[in-house]
Structure 1
Amino acid sequence: MKKLLMANWKMNPKTEKEAIRLAKASDAANVVVYPPFPFLPAVAKALKKATLGAQDLFWEAETGPYTGEVSARELKSVGVEYVIIGHSSRRALGEKDEVIAKKVQAALSVGLVPILCVGEVLEEREAGRAQEVVDKQLRTVLSQLPLVAHGQLFVAYEPVWAISTTPHSSGLQSLSAEEAPAKSVELIRYMQHMVSTIQMETKFLYGGSVNLKNVQEVFGYDEIDGALVGGASLKAAEFGKMIKEVST
């Protein structure tokens, strides 16, 4: 399997027209595009080579009296194949490990591929707690999965201290972005050992301010199976160059 380049648009762009334009510019094999919920159907029609993903889902997989929520089954019905779960943006809003674990189960139950995001904030890293934090985040999910699980799981390591667009950040965290990939490999190796306890295909992504300058370095590590790209994926020209960089 080739390494994947995943474009997380977050709460962007402003209009469906812009979303379609951006989708067409990102349309390539081994690319997964994650637009906001309202643009999923339009982006699904625009994509010919890339795969459609969603940025979140509810922990109830089917339907129910949950105002404002979107289920795994509903996402699958509009062509979604991958779904981001536990992104640092969601954790910052109070989403707990236990809820994230239920969301992973919901995704797997309908055949979606969950992208489980884990990672520590700057204060936790400076306190020497990076491994402890990531261990708890990942272990909570793994403990809810059967030893032999069907489907596929991606674990996206987000060093939150290296994400320049983190809401309410001082901006100083981005100063560490260039050295973050190399510093993250050891922690990814630790997580690879953790997931060896379950018989399920598990891949690892890196998601710390990936851009045109560092995407080749990220893809150069054997431990990393792809990248979860944020801000850079909204710049059509830059993301197009990133696709070419990792396709050659």
Structure 2
Amino acid sequence: MAENANQQEKNESLTRRRFLKNSGIAIGGLAVGGALGSLIPFKDKTDKDGVKTEQKAENYNLALMFFTQQQFRMVEAATERIFPADDNGPGAKDLGVAYFIDHQLSGDWGFNAREYMQPPFFKGEKVQGYQGRLRRREIFDIGLRELQNHSLKKFEKNFIDLDEEQQIEVLTDFAEDKVQLTTISPSGFFNMMRTATLEGAYSDPLYSGNRNMDGWKMRNYPGSQMAYTDVIDQEFKVIAPKSLKDHLGH
């Protein structure tokens, strides 16, 4: 009896395993890396000549978490005017700055989560920075809407459809408080976006900006090195930058 029970349990286990394996294949191997991943056979990708080729990994970090598509394109255009591409290297667009800002606004920074945000609210001195009830994500929502409105009023075009000089004019109007707004400070919004642009250009790529560490490379900045013991007693030398991601598993 015990032997028959053990055989029956073994058969059931094999049946379940076969079912899981077939199910994994049926759903396209969605459980890759888990229990199913070890059961699903994967074929190497080959070209037409039968030569194995490496598949380029997709960067799924480049996804919107806060902005609408229109807002994203506006921020991408505005930040490129603030940090344009030139002979020294890529601009904000190619560095992924708009993704950096989007992801920051979706988290604690966008909610002002670590700041005291209770009344009463008073107009602060310039050295005190922003003093008000609106969160950064709300300021960006309002600021981008007003940027679009000012663009339509001044040039009768959407901001993203303006040429570079016209976009600069619109941004300059905000920077110099030439736009009459009752909800937010135009220059306050511009300065917030400018600061976020620079942070996105030079932050660790882990946070979606500074793509390929090109922002660091333009400055010969070494990034997140584990140590400098091998070069500390030598003359200055350029070190290839490293991201925090490069130290995983160390």
Larger radius of gyration: 2
Does the TM-score normalized on the shorter chain lie above 0.5? no
More helix by share: 2
Between 1 and 2, higher relative CO (CA 8 Å, sep ≥ 6) is seen in 1
Q: TM-score range by the shorter chain?
A: under 0.3
Greater share of residues in strand: 1
Q: TM-score, normalised by structure 2?
A: 0.21
TM-score w.r.t. the length of structure 1 is 0.21
